[in-house]
Amino acid sequence: MDCVTPAAVDVGIDVSKAKLDVCLLPGDKRLSCGNDEQGVAQVIALLKDQPVRRVLLEATGRYERHVASELLEAGFDVTVVNPRQARDFARALGKLAKTDRIDAHTLAQFAQLGHTRLCEKQPEKRTLLDDLVTRRRQVTRMLATEKTRLQVPQNKTTRTMIARVIRLLDQQRQDLDRRIAQLIESDDDWKNRRDLLSSVPGIGIATASQLVADLPELGKLNRQQIAALVGVAPINRDSGAMRGKRAIGGGRASVRCALYMAAFCAMKFNPLLRPFAERLRGVGKPFKVIVVAVMRKLLAILNIMIKENQPWNPKLKTA
């Protein structure tokens, strides 16, 4: 007697701070539980009895981290997508209403397409590194805000209070820099990556550390894929005879900001990128176009360096 192979099941999980809404397709099987240890255990117990092909979640302010990590540990293929992608997909299906149950069903439908990139298991230290780098970015933003406030005319008492906050934030940023450096030093692969990246004129230690934390895909993708992932690949906006203005968008804003500042330094001091920028300036390209082009070329250089495990070389070919 022939055995019938059960149909593959795709799973969508709508994640909030307190709750997990799960939908399995086909069959529209449902589960709603708490976003805690007990709730995650319920989800895993349910899915272990199913021929699961893929589990898809939205990135929701890090509330999805625990359930995604536990699902990966249990051996499931997991994808975490940008909420904008999920919402655009829902609109394409004509779904304008939005509830947790509807979102879970939409995410399951999204998973059925199978076009999303799978997550990889991350060591516990990577989560800590990501948290530290994210906190450093937050402190840097707060520090810049307080310094701007200090320039506004105000009484001595207010200025003293602001100065006290600035000293506290500056101390916290220094502490974070030390902890990030210590964590990277404790991992040979991270240390090697940071050293390779910081060997490029225009890339400092802080930027290199941020790239280690925020862009683990560096060296694993080709230059087109890594540019699209970061969001420095120009997007076509053509229709019929109309040729729209190309612009970048999407991607990882934190990495893009780091590359933006690095590009400014590279345009002045990098022997490969400085003439590249001057050549673009010579043909009349707008300043922002030049900076983005330098960012994209710099990213391609970093990608090749990590892929080939080679330090900075001004003769490096990125094509």
Q: pLDDT at position 1, please?
A: 43
Q: Are residues 181 and 197 in the same domain?
A: no
Domains in the chain, number: 3
Do 209 and 133 meet the contact criterion of CB atoms below 8 Å apart?
yes
Q: Which of 186, 202, 224 is the last residue of a domain?
A: 186
Q: Which amino acid is at 1?
A: M
Separation of first and last alpha carbons in the chain: 56
Q: Is 131 inside a domain boundary? A: yes
Q: Is 239 inside a domain boundary? A: yes
CATH number at residue 44: 3.30.420.140
Centre a 10 Å sphere on the Cβ of residue 97 and count the other Cβ atoms it contains: 7
Q: pLDDT at position 4, please?
A: 45
Q: pLDDT at position 249, please?
A: 62
Q: Are residues 69 and 14 in the same domain?
A: yes
**pLDDT tens, residue by residue, 264-294:** 888 888 888 899 999 998 988 888 888 888 8
Low-confidence ranges of the chain (pLDDT < 50): 1-4
Q: What is the pTM of this model?
A: 0.69
Q: Are residues 271 and 292 in the same domain?
A: yes
**CA–CA distance from 11 to each of 20, 25, 40, 103 (Å)?**
12, 6, 14, 12
Q: Is 215 inside a domain boundary? A: yes
Q: pLDDT at position 316, please?
A: 67
Q: Are residues 23 and 127 in the same domain?
A: no
Q: Is 3 inside a domain boundary? A: no
Q: pLDDT at position 172, please?
A: 94
Q: pLDDT at position 318, please?
A: 59
Q: Are residues 207 and 285 in the same domain?
A: yes
Q: Are residues 105 and 127 in the same domain?
A: no
**pLDDT tens, residue by residue, 246-267:** 666 666 788 888 888 888 888 8
Tallying the residues shown for the chain, one arrives at 319
Q: pLDDT at position 166, please?
A: 93
Q: Is 2 inside a domain boundary? A: no
Q: pLDDT at position 170, please?
A: 93
Q: Are residues 277 and 224 in the same domain?
A: yes
Centre a 10 Å sphere on the Cβ of residue 43 and count the other Cβ atoms it contains: 22
List the domain range (segments joined by +) for residue 154: 123-186
Q: Are residues 153 and 230 in the same domain?
A: no
Q: Is 160 inside a domain boundary? A: yes
Q: Are residues 216 and 180 in the same domain?
A: no
Q: Are residues 61 and 87 in the same domain?
A: yes
Q: Are residues 207 and 314 in the same domain?
A: yes
Do 191 and 183 meet the contact criterion of CB atoms below 8 Å apart?
no
In 243-286, alpha helices (H): 253-269, 273-282
Q: Which of 113, 147, 168 is the last residue of a domain?
A: 113
Q: Is 4 inside a domain boundary? A: no
Q: Which of 93, 113, 133 is the last residue of a domain?
A: 113
Q: Are residues 137 and 107 in the same domain?
A: no
Q: Is 1 inside a domain boundary? A: no
